[in-house]
Every structure is written in C-alpha cells, then in structure tokens.
Structure 1
Amino acid sequence: MRIGMFMPTMNQNWVFSNTSPVSMPEWFLAEQAALKAEHYNFDFLLSAVKFRGFDGDTSPWNYSLDSLSVMAGLAVSTKRIKLFGSIATLLTPPVLAAKQAATISDMSGGRFGLNIVTGWEKPEYTQMGLWPGDQHFQTRYDHADEYVRVMRELWAKGQSDFRGTYFQMEDCRLGPTPTAPIELVCAGQSDRGMQFCAEVGDYQFVVGKPDVESLAVQNVRLQAQADKAGRTVGSFPLFQIVLRESVAEAEDVVQDWRENMDFPAVTNLMGIAQEDLTENEESTKNLMLGSDAFMISFPLVLGDAKTVAEKLRSFGEVPGTAGVMLSFQDYLSDVDRFGREVMPLLAGS
C-alpha cells in the first residue's frame, strides 16, 4: 500500500475552524513537510491548485502557493518520493501543461505526475473572466478528455494535429519529450467523472465514508468503468489523520474543531458546491454538504498509532486500492509523529 500526502500549500490546510492549528503557505513549510515525508518513507506527495478561498473568519485557502512551482522546487530538494502537481484545465493550455510536466519530470528524474482539475468552483474562474458558462458543469469531462489527449500526443510523439470540439492543434510541437511516463490522477466522483478517470487516468481519488464497505463499493464502481475501457486504474482514498494518545483524545480534538468551525467560510464553500448540484453530480452534494464540510468532508481516521495503522491497513487491503492519501493539520509536528509512530506499524502493508 502506497502512502501519499496532501501538501500544506494553502492556509488553514484541511480544517476550517477557529481553533485548529494555523499556518500560512510558504516554501519553507512545503519543503520541510516534503522532506519529512520522504524521510519516513511516504511514497508520494500531491499539491493542490487554488486561486480563490472562502473568506469567513479564518480566510481559508485565500492564500496558496502555485502547485507546479512547488513541485519543481521539490524535484530538486527530494530524491525518491513521487511528486504530483495539479493543473487547472480551464487556466493552462494543454501544450503549456505538457511542457511544464515534461520539464519537471526531467528535473525529478522521472518522478512527476499530474492531477487533472476540471474546474467546478465557478468563482475561481469568473474572477478572471475565464468561466466558459454554466454548461461547463455538464461538459467539463469532455473538455478534459480532449485536454489529456493533446498532452499525451505531445509527450509520445512531440507533435500533434489533434482536432476536437475544444482544442485544435496545427502541427503543434513539443521538445524534448519526457523520458519517463507521466502518470495522471483524477478526482471526479460522479459516474461521468469516474468514466473519465478510467479512460485516461492512472489513479482516482476517492472520498467517502471511513469504512471498508463503502470503499469497496467505490472501488467496484471505478473498476467497472476501467473494465469498459480495458484499463486498470487504482484508487487513492483520502483521509484526514488526527493522531493522539487515544481515540477519546482525538475525538475531543475534532469535536473542538467542529464546535468552533468557521461557519461563514463553510457556508461559502457549501454555496459554491450547490452551483454544481446537477442531476449527474449528486456525489458533489455528498462530498461537500456533509456534517463535516468544515474538514472538506474528508473521512476521519483518528486515535492512537495502533488504531490509525489498523484502520489504514484495512483500507489498503480492499481490492482496487492502490494507496491512501493523507492530510494533516500541523504538518511540521503531525508528519513527524505519524512517521515515528504509525509508519513502522504499516511496514510491509
């Protein structure tokens, strides 16, 4: 089972609360968190792409680092760990994304992959005058499919004459081409989103309830789509880690965050999510409008080291799970503690 980590490249990280640990995104924090993860034998890192936050009392995600710039820096700072940067398909032309990815892949010795972000948070794009219209909620995966096809043509051949609905290439060139495969991660939870990932991705982020039965259902959905495409795609379920001396202590910490959540920010987040509640996007509602929306509705894995390790191991044993993707709150201390106390218990999983 591979162990991955969401990078701390946005303020407030993954808990929108007035009592959760606070940090501002900066290169020192990102680099130190990455080096700690590599030291403790994590397998991969992923940084998000974000251009607008949610205001409120704590202004979560109003401050963020550029995903690809961070990963380019980490390509030099790290030696072994896999690096996934995120690209917003509405903001970066596929030819530029292909060149950036090829460059960082070269810098890292072939350790780079891309997370494809199709764009559902409308205010991120209206602020720049780049929102293509609300039909994008229904067509975003068609757009992303063409986007990936252009990139892969360029990576494979260094040239593209792709002609589609959204992109038209005319003897488009890329050189040098990457010498190692650039793997792709996707995050769509709807049937169409999973179809997209099954057809073009290597891994799929999965968000759901923190139990093996729910993960098994999600993995079956993904594999059914992958079978249709004649491909194999592994899932990366996402979890919020709260590691303490006991389950009771960890639950008390989370309850304090919950009771002191940044309600205005969560309300803004929920309002944006509702924009995308189409007939085919019920998963967005489940993801963003749950009782723990202040934690981005990431399922919790909490407790002492043994409890956390056993829970993660059980997820790794679900057929179709390629690894787990973890988020923390106080990255400088939490990653150290997880690395010292939990990683040895997961050795060999």
Structure 2
Amino acid sequence: MKLGLALPTMQNGWVISHTSPKFSPDWSLIKHAALTAEAYDFDFLLSTVQLVGFAGPTKHFHETADSFAIMAGLAAVTERLMLYGSIATLTTPPPLAAKQAQTISDISGGRFGLNIVSGLEKGMYSQMGIWPGDHHFSTRYDHATEYATIVRELWETGRSDFTGQYFQMDGCHLGPTPKHPIEIVCAGQSDRGTQFCAEFGDYQLAIGKLDPDEMRQWNDRLQKATAAAGRRCGMHALYTIVLRDTDAEAEEAIEDWRSNQDYETVAGLAGREYGDGDDAATKNIYYNSDTFMLSFPTIAGSAETVAEKLRALGAVEGVSGILMTFQDYRTDVERFGKEVVPLLRS
C-alpha cells in the first residue's frame, strides 16, 4: 500500500471552520510538508489545481499555488517521491501540458505523473471567460479523452496529427520526448469518469469508503471497467486523517470544528444561500453533515486506531494507495510519520 500526501497548495486546507488550522500555501510550507513526507517513507505527493476560492469569512482557497510550478520545484529538491501535478484541460492546450510534464519528468528523473482535471467547477473558468457552456458538464470526458489521446501521442512519438471534435493538431511536435514513462491519474468517479480512468489512467484518485466491504465494491467497478479496456488501473483512495493521543481527543477536535464551521462558506459550497432565509435551519442541515470537511471520509483517533483502519482499507484488493489530507501541515505530517507509518510498515 502506497502512502500519499495531498499538499497544502490551497489556503486553509480541507476543514472549513473558524477554529481549524489556517495557513497560506507558500513555498516554504509546501516544501517542508514534502520533505517531511519523504523523510517518513511516504510514496507520492499530489498537488491540486484550484483557480477560485469560496465566498465566506474563512477565505478558503482564496490563495492557491500553481500545481506544475510547485512540482517543478519539488522535483529538484526531493529524491524518491512520485510527484503528481494537476492540469485543467480547459486552461492548458494538450501540447503545452505534454511539454510541461516532460520537462518536470526530466527534472525529477522520471518521478512525475499527470493528473488530468476535466473541469467541473463552472466558476473557476467563467471568471476568466473560458467556460465553454453548460454542455461541458455532460461532454467533459469526451473532451478529456481527446486531450489525453494527444498527450499520449506526443509523449510516445513526438508528433500528433489528431483531428477530433475539440482539438485539431497539424503536425504538432514535441521534443524531446520523455526519457521515462509518465503516469496519468484522474479523479473521475461517475460511470463516465471511471471509464476514462480505465482507458487512460494508471491510477484513479477516488473518495474512499470507511468500510472495507464498501471499499471493495467501490473498487470493483473500476476493475471491471479496466478489464473491459484491456488495461490495469489502481485506485488511490482519499481520506482525511485526524491524529490525536486518543480516539476521544480526535473526536473532540472534529466536534470543535463542526461547532465552529464557517456556515456561509459551507452553505455556498453546497449551493445554498446563507443569510437569506432561515439561517437556523441552514445551520441545522450543515451541522449534521460533513460538508465542512468537504465530505471526505475521515479516519480519526490514536496512532493505533488510525493504523488499524488504514491497514484494513489498504488490504482491499485493487486499492493501490492511500492519499491523505491533514489539518496543520506544519506538525501533522511529521506526527503521522513518527507514530503511524512504523505501525503500517511493520
């Protein structure tokens, strides 16, 4: 089971609360988290792409780091970790994405992989005037299929004359071609998104399940699609880790964030206006949901509890890795490395 870290590339991270740790995604923090992960036997890093923040007082995601620039920097200062950088298909032409990926792969000695983001958040693109229209919600994986096809052709042959509905290449050139294979990962989890992963991905980035039996069923869908495509594709399952001295202390921390969540941001994230209607009802709805933690499945407790749960999930056939988010990247990654990794590796 590979261990992965979702880097702190977006302001204030993955818990939308007034009392959760706050940070700016500056290079020093990101570099510290990455080098700590490498020192404690993590296997891979992921940097996301986010181009617009959430409205609300905690200003979540208002500041973000560029995914490819971060991975180019980390390629030069890390030695072992696999680096997955994210590209939004609506913002970057496929030949440029192929060139950037080849360059970072070269810097890292073949440790770079490309996360293809098909573009579901309309506001992220409409702010720049590049949203193609709401039809993209239903056609985004057709668009991504052409995108990935061109990228693969350029990596493999250095040339593409692909002509499709969305892209037309005319003797498009890439040189040099990659010295090492470049993996593709993708986070599509709908039936169409899973098909895209099965056809092009080396790994699917998927929201995990807390019950191993549910995880097994969840992964089985991917494996069936992959078998139909005649390929192999693993699943890197995403979880939020809340590590404390005891299980009770971990639950207390989550309850504190829940009680002090930024309801304005959480309601907006869920498509509901806050401050215009029955605010008490809105608070009741979201107090009893996990939207304030972006609905990521949470593994909380002592080191022994966290290790036991991760070990059970990692034992599910087809689960190739665990991708983790933390709250305070200045301390949490090191604590996980010291207390949990030895239990997992033993």
TM band (smaller chain): over 0.9
Match of residue 39 from structure 1: 39
Show CA shifts across 1:50-80 (max 9, x none): 1101021101001100000000000001011
Aligned 1:97-246 pairs, distance under 5 A: 97-246=97-246
Show CA shifts across 1:17-44 (max 9, x none): 1000111110000000000000001000
Letter in 1 for 2:105: S
**Contact 1:16 1:266 survives alignment (8 Å):** yes
Q: What is the CA distance between 1:266 and its match in structure 2?
A: 1.2
Match of residue 61 from structure 2: 61
**Contact 2:48 2:67 survives alignment (8 Å):** yes
Q: What is the CA distance between 1:163 and its match in structure 2?
A: 0.7
Of 270, 293, 296, the residue aligned with 2:294 is: 296
- Whole-angstrom CA distance in 1 between matches of 2:185 and 2:253: 32
- Whole-angstrom CA distance in 2 between matches of 1:192 and 1:149: 16
**Contact 2:54 2:60 survives alignment (8 Å):** yes
- Whole-angstrom CA distance in 2 between matches of 1:258 and 1:57: 16
Letter in 2 for 1:136: H
TM-score (norm 2): 0.94
**Contact 2:258 2:287 survives alignment (8 Å):** no
Letter in 2 for 1:245: D
Show CA shifts across 1:239-266 (max 9, x none): 0000001111100100111111111111
Q: Is 1:325 matched with 2:323?
A: yes
Letter in 2 for 1:25: P
Of 323, 334, 340, the residue aligned with 2:332 is: 334
Letter in 2 for 1:311: K
Q: Tell me the secondary structure at the aligned position of residue 63 of structure 1.
A: coil
**Contact 2:208 2:239 survives alignment (8 Å):** no
- Whole-angstrom CA distance in 2 between matches of 1:105 and 1:153: 17
- Whole-angstrom CA distance in 2 between matches of 1:294 and 1:115: 25
Q: What is the CA distance between 1:182 and its match in structure 2?
A: 0.7
Q: What is the CA distance between 1:206 and its match in structure 2?
A: 1.6
Match of residue 81 from structure 1: 81
**Contact 1:156 1:177 survives alignment (8 Å):** yes
- Whole-angstrom CA distance in 2 between matches of 1:270 and 1:103: 38
- Note the aligned Cα RMSD (angstroms): 1.4
- Whole-angstrom CA distance in 2 between matches of 1:184 and 1:249: 38
**Contact 1:35 1:78 survives alignment (8 Å):** yes
Q: Tell me the secondary structure at the aligned position of residue 269 of structure 2.
A: helix
Q: Tell me the secondary structure at the aligned position of residue 179 of structure 1.
A: coil
Q: What is the CA distance between 1:209 and its match in structure 2?
A: 3.3
**Contact 1:290 1:297 survives alignment (8 Å):** no
- Whole-angstrom CA distance in 1 between matches of 2:146 and 2:248: 49
**Contact 1:153 1:160 survives alignment (8 Å):** yes
TM-score (norm 1): 0.94
Q: Tell me the secondary structure at the aligned position of residue 180 of structure 1.
A: coil
Letter in 1 for 2:188: G
Show CA shifts across 1:257-298 (max 9, x none): 1111111111221129xxxxxxxxxxxxxxx99921111111
Letter in 1 for 2:323: M
Show CA shifts across 1:89-142 (max 9, x none): 000000000000000000000000011111111001110000000000000000
Of 310, 313, 338, the residue aligned with 1:312 is: 310
Which blocks of at least 5 consecutive residues in structure 1 are unaligned?
273-287
- Whole-angstrom CA distance in 2 between matches of 1:136 and 1:57: 31
Query: Identity across aligned pairs (percent)?
Result: 58
Match of residue 95 from structure 2: 95
Match of residue 282 from structure 1: none
Q: Tell me the secondary structure at the aligned position of residue 322 of structure 1.
A: strand
Match of residue 254 from structure 2: 254
The alignment of Structure 1 onto Structure 2 pairs a total of residues equal to 333
- Whole-angstrom CA distance in 1 between matches of 2:110 and 2:271: 40
